[in-house]
Amino acid sequence: MDRRSFLVLLLAGCADPAPNLLPAVSPLPAAPTPQSPAPVVAPTQSGDPGFDAWASAFYGRAVQAGLPSALLDRELAGLVPDPRVTSLDSRQPEFAKPFGDYIKGAVSEDRIAIGQRKRAELSALMTPIEDRYGVSADVVMGIWAMETGFGAVMGSFDVLRCMATLAAEGRRQQFAEDQLMAALKIIGSGEFPRSQLFGSWAGAMGQTQFIPTTFLSTAVDGDGDGKRDIWGSSADALASAANLLAKGGWARGQTWAHEVTVPDGFDYGLTEGPRDTPDWWAGLGVRRADGLPWITADQGAKAMLIAPSGASGPKFLLLPNHFVIRKYNNATTYALGVGLLADRFAGAGPLIQAWPYETALSLADRITAQQALAALGFDPGAADGVVGVNTRSALRAWQKTRGLTADGYLSIQMVGLLKAEVPSAGPPPQAVPAPTPSPVG
Ligand code: CA
């Protein structure tokens, strides 16, 4: 699974391209790179001057960080950037996939059937994992399903080469160099050779897709053979994922969310808002959609209400464990997909409220809505086409003042209303890709 959104968040504070592994030699803030013992001849001879210059500078930083030069000489020799990584890193889908479409794809009947079968087959493995780490085995299975289709699709990229490519590119240099150094540490320690460190273009490895730093800090040996083989051993991969959730603060015995209903006239301005106990929400008329009472373990937990595809779609009370799943990938869609799969593996039925029909919004639609909200005095954050918490919050405030249901859901209807209020909103025409001509039209 793509964890770009998570990485972008992670790197939001790392805009300074100068690596912070070394003390600066010059007090001038504009010093381009710290001086370091770079080799006279570039450690790579890729034919790409930018890449080779980065490799020389990285070599010095890696030696300073304690990596042996023999290891660096061996692993950097012959390294060339991977153009597929550059291309995948810069892609920007024109249309945002609607929330319900994403969930319907992620929580498919095929995947549920495989998960239920595997859950039964692996009970002798999963029960001890659940006991030891105190996390839900079904949620661990949900992660396994979402990340690699139960270990079927782990990615075949050379992670070391991918991280070198991203680091040289510069946009995410600190992240990529951290991962590269971690990969080199794994190789240098003799734990695994480079040929084993394969994964996604973004550096996620093995059946539960750990980036190299997470591998070093969190992977465990689940089957007791002395190796943390997250590629070849499902026991190791699943125990490692469980360890990650435990370290992330999983609350033992609590669930991750409940589908809920709200009464007529409910104030949707409370979505993505306060966190309070299920009983507090019940005081506002919020009920479990299946009609069952709250479970005892959940009663003291602070829950947040969401309506991710608006007032006409399913609503959920998110318990703290939802936010623990997001340590894996900080997207509501991802965590909801994992949790709903887990519920189905455990025998729950489908959602009671169906996902509504949603129109995919183009980048121009999203930017138009953000610019209109800003022009009207609401603050959606940067007009970047990313509909995040700030945009939804501004939308709720605008909806409230217009007497609309304040669910913060940017539908095509809301885009139309905003555009009508601010006809000048929207990106300049040349910034919007031309539609593909229709062969019949
Ligand atoms: Ca093992």
361-431: same fold as 92-153+228-358? no
Does the pLDDT value for residue 355 go beyond 90? yes
For residues 159 and 161, what is the distance between their CA atoms, to the nearest angstrom? 5
What average pLDDT does the segment 34-55 reach? 79
Measure Cα distances from 255 to 216, 250, 299, 321, 355 in Å: 29, 10, 11, 7, 22
Q: Which two tokens stand for residue 236?
A: 């190791």
For residues 37 and 23, what is the distance between their CA atoms, to the nearest angstrom? 14
Contact assessment for residue 265 and residue 290, using Cβ atoms and an 8 Å cutoff = no
User: Ligand 1: distance of its center to the CA of 56 in Å?
Assistant: 36
User: Ligand 1: distance of its center to the CA of 237 in Å?
Assistant: 9
Going by pLDDT thresholds of 50, 70 and 90, the confidence category of residue 416 is very high
User: Ligand 1: distance of its center to the CA of 334 in Å?
Assistant: 27
The answer to whether the Cα torsion of 430, 431, 437, 438 is positive or negative is negative
User: Ligand 1: distance of its center to the CA of 126 in Å?
Assistant: 15
For residues 319 and 310, what is the distance between their CA atoms, to the nearest angstrom? 19
User: Ligand 1: distance of its center to the CA of 221 in Å?
Assistant: 4
What average pLDDT does the segment 283-290 reach? 97
User: Ligand 1: distance of its center to the CA of 240 in Å?
Assistant: 10
User: Ligand 1: distance of its center to the CA of 226 in Å?
Assistant: 6
Going by pLDDT thresholds of 50, 70 and 90, the confidence category of residue 427 is confident
User: Ligand 1: distance of its center to the CA of 52 in Å?
Assistant: 37
Length of the chain: 441
- What interhelical angle do 4-11 and 173-188 show, nearest 10? 110
Ligand 1 ion: Cβ-proximal residues, 5 Å cutoff: 221, 223, 225, 227, 229, 233, 236
User: Ligand 1: distance of its center to the CA of 232 in Å?
Assistant: 9
CA 31 to chain centre: 33
- pLDDT value at residue 94: 85
163-172, 288-297, 338-347, 420-429: lowest mean pLDDT where? Answer: 420-429
What average pLDDT does the segment 289-307 reach? 96
User: Ligand 1: distance of its center to the CA of 116 in Å?
Assistant: 24
Going by pLDDT thresholds of 50, 70 and 90, the confidence category of residue 318 is very high
The residue ranking higher by pLDDT, 14 or 203, is 203
For residues 423 and 397, what is the distance between their CA atoms, to the nearest angstrom? 20
Beta-carbon count within 10 A of 435 CB: 8
The residue ranking higher by pLDDT, 187 or 91, is 187
User: Ligand 1: distance of its center to the CA of 106 in Å?
Assistant: 29
User: Ligand 1: distance of its center to the CA of 229 in Å?
Assistant: 5
Going by pLDDT thresholds of 50, 70 and 90, the confidence category of residue 96 is confident
23-32, 61-70, 265-274: lowest mean pLDDT where? Answer: 23-32
Strands of the 303-306 sheet, one edge to the other: 275-276, 303-306, 315-318, 257-261, 287-288
User: Ligand 1: distance of its center to the CA of 259 in Å?
Assistant: 37
User: Ligand 1: distance of its center to the CA of 246 in Å?
Assistant: 19
- What interhelical angle do 123-133 and 234-247 show, nearest 10? 20
What average pLDDT does the segment 95-112 reach? 95
What is the overall mean pLDDT for the chain? 90
- pLDDT value at residue 12: 33
- pLDDT value at residue 91: 85
- Which residues are within 8 A (CB) of 32 and not within 5 positions of it... i.e. 6 or more apart? 18
Tell me which of 1.10.101, 1.10.3470, 3.40.50, 1.10.760 is the CATH number of domain 361-431. 1.10.101
User: Ligand 1: distance of its center to the CA of 294 in Å?
Assistant: 39
User: Ligand 1: distance of its center to the CA of 208 in Å?
Assistant: 14
For residues 300 and 52, what is the distance between their CA atoms, to the nearest angstrom? 56
User: Ligand 1: distance of its center to the CA of 230 in Å?
Assistant: 8
Q: What are phi and psi of 276, to 5 degrees?
A: -150, 180
- pLDDT value at residue 40: 58
The residue ranking higher by pLDDT, 12 or 43, is 43
User: Ligand 1: distance of its center to the CA of 227 in Å?
Assistant: 4
What number of CA atoms fall less than 13 Å from residue 80's CA on the CB side? 8
- What's the N-to-C CA distance of the chain in angstroms? 37
User: Ligand 1: distance of its center to the CA of 191 in Å?
Assistant: 12
- pLDDT value at residue 42: 81
Q: Which two tokens stand for residue 112?
A: 């549920």
User: Ligand 1: distance of its center to the CA of 219 in Å?
Assistant: 10
User: Ligand 1: distance of its center to the CA of 196 in Å?
Assistant: 14
User: Ligand 1: distance of its center to the CA of 30 in Å?
Assistant: 47
Going by pLDDT thresholds of 50, 70 and 90, the confidence category of residue 28 is very low
Each residue of 162-208: pLDDT tens digit? 999 999 999 899 999 999 999 999 999 999 999 999 999 999 999 99
Does the pLDDT value for residue 7 go beyond 50? no
User: Ligand 1: distance of its center to the CA of 37 in Å?
Assistant: 38
Does the pLDDT value for residue 255 go beyond 70? yes
19-28, 109-118, 428-437: lowest mean pLDDT where? Answer: 19-28
- Domain borders along the chain are 49-80+156-199, 92-153+228-358, 361-431
CATH topology of domain 92-153+228-358: Lysozyme (1.10.530)
E strand or H helix at 261, and its extent? strand 257-261
87-96, 133-142, 290-299, 392-401: lowest mean pLDDT where? Answer: 87-96
